[in-house]
């Protein structure tokens, strides 16, 4: 072995062990986004709508069951209620007197525009994540997004690292095998990286 080969193999080994080290720590080398909690154009509250009012997640995020993205609902979904619901309970305004936030919602809807919601969760472009397969398999939204039904403002609850994906896949497959079924959650690189 000459000096050059030693240097190259050394660099590769070092790179590989750094990568294994990083993955085993569950770190996200591109920057951990957990805790990201941006303000939205209107203070829409999941704690109120999905928590107190118990509106089903899929009532608004309909696409989660059938496609890659869960999607953000159009304002027509909000207007199903806010044609008539004008205020917070207990506010002194009359029924036909919408609160400033509902006024803003109605005007934005009537003008044909939408809100520019700030995207919170986003994987790097080289990762494939299909919502549909997970929802169809009965994986709860909360196992990846945390207790959204308690959030006034949505916050990224988990780092969504490769380590997190693989840990759950391993556990799910063990459960399937114990139940005598074929494992479905992939561990091969190409399933998540095309
Ligand atoms: C009445 C409609 C409605 C319901 C019900 C609802 N959501 Fe949402 N959701 C929205 C809207 C609007 C946004 C975009 C604004 C925001 O982030 O708060 C959103 C954003 C989100 C986001 C962040 C998306 C991003 O940018 O990364 C997640 C995650 C989410 N919802 C999960 C849930 C879960 C889980 C439930 C059920 C517990 C739920 N939602 C129920 C309307 C709804
Ligand atoms: C199933 C019915 C329903 C849907 C769908 C719904 N809301 Fe609401 N929303 C309500 C009710 C009821 C209240 C008032 C709660 C109370 O009495 O305090 C409310 C309250 C609000 C408030 C607070 C109003 C204030 O006076 O401060 C905002 C903002 C709001 N909703 C936005 C939205 C947006 C944006 C959507 C769509 C993404 C949406 N809502 C969808 C039923 C709904
Ligand atoms: C197995 C983990 C997992 C589960 C379960 C899950 N999500 Fe997600 N969700 C993610 C990841 C990862 C992203 C970012 C995806 C990307 O950037 O391609 C995301 C993004 C989102 C977004 C914003 C972007 C988009 O895809 O539209 C919304 C809204 C959302 N999820 C809602 C939900 C709801 C509602 C449920 C339950 C019905 C749910 N998620 C279940 C992991 C999950
Ligand atoms: C809480 C558990 C859980 C987490 C976290 C999770 N998954 Fe999964 N995933 C599953 C299960 C269960 C399946 C098998 C679904 C089935 O039975 O079809 C699956 C299947 C998949 C598939 C196979 C889809 C297909 O078409 O074959 C892909 C790709 C995938 N997951 C990507 C991801 C990625 C990327 C992440 C991390 C951002 C992730 N998963 C996080 C539970 C999880
Ligand atoms: C279940 C889905 C899944 C599988 C299987 C998977 N990955 Fe990933 N991978 C991810 C996600 C999600 C990210 C982005 C988040 C992160 O950096 O942890 C990622 C990131 C990466 C990165 C970039 C690391 C960085 O932070 O720059 C590399 C390199 C990588 N994966 C290689 C692989 C290899 C090699 C395999 C096969 C041994 C593999 N992945 C299998 C989901 C997966």
Domain limits of the chain?
A: 1-31
Residue 10 has what pLDDT?
43
Tokens of 162: 């490769």
Report how far apart, in Å, the C-alpha atoms of 190 and of each of 44, 127, 128, 169, 193 are.
Answer: 38, 10, 9, 15, 5
| CB 136, CB 66: distance < 8 Å | no
Q: pTM of the predicted model, to two decimals? A: 0.91
Q: Output the pLDDT for position 170.
A: 97
**Quick one: residue 35, left, alpha or beta (phi over 0 = left, psi -120 to 50 = alpha)?**
left
- What's the pLDDT at 194? 86
Whether 44 is in the pocket of ligand 1, judged by its Cβ within 6 Å, is: yes
Whose Cα sits closest to atom 30 in ligand 1?
148
In tens, the pLDDT along 55-114 reads 999 999 999 999 999 999 999 999 999 998 988 776 666 656 889 999 999 999 999 999
Q: Is 148 a pocket residue for ligand 2 (Cβ < 6 Å)?
A: no
For residue 124, the CA-to-ligand 1 centroid distance in Å is: 21
Q: How far is the CA of 136 from the centre of ligand 2 (A)?
A: 28
Give the CA count within 13 Å in the CB-facing half-sphere of 173. Answer: 11
């Amino acid at each position: 072995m000459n000096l050059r080969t030693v240097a190259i193999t050394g660099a590769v080994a070092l790179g590989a062990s750094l990568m294994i080290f990083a993955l085993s720590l569950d770190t996200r080398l591109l920057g951990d986004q957990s805790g990201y909690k941006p303000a939205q154009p209107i203070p829409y509250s999941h704690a109120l709508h999905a928590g107190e009012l118990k509106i089903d997640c899929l009532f608004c995020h309909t696409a989660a069951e059938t496609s890659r993205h869960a999607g953000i609902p159009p304002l027509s979904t909000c207007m199903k209620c806010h044609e008539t619901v004008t205020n917070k309970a207990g506010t002194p305004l009359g029924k036909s007197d919408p609160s400033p936030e509902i006024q803003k919602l109605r005007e934005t809807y009537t003008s044909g525009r939408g809100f520019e919601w700030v995207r919170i969760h986003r994987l790097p472009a080289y990762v494939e994540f299909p919502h549909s397969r997970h929802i169809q398999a009965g994986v709860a939204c909360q196992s990846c997004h945390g207790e959204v039904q308690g959030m006034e403002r949505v916050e990224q609850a988990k780092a969504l690292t490769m380590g997190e994906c693989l840990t759950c896949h391993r556990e799910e497959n063990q459960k399937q095998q114990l139940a005598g079924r074929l494992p479905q959650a992939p561990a091969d690189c190409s399933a998540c990286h095309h």
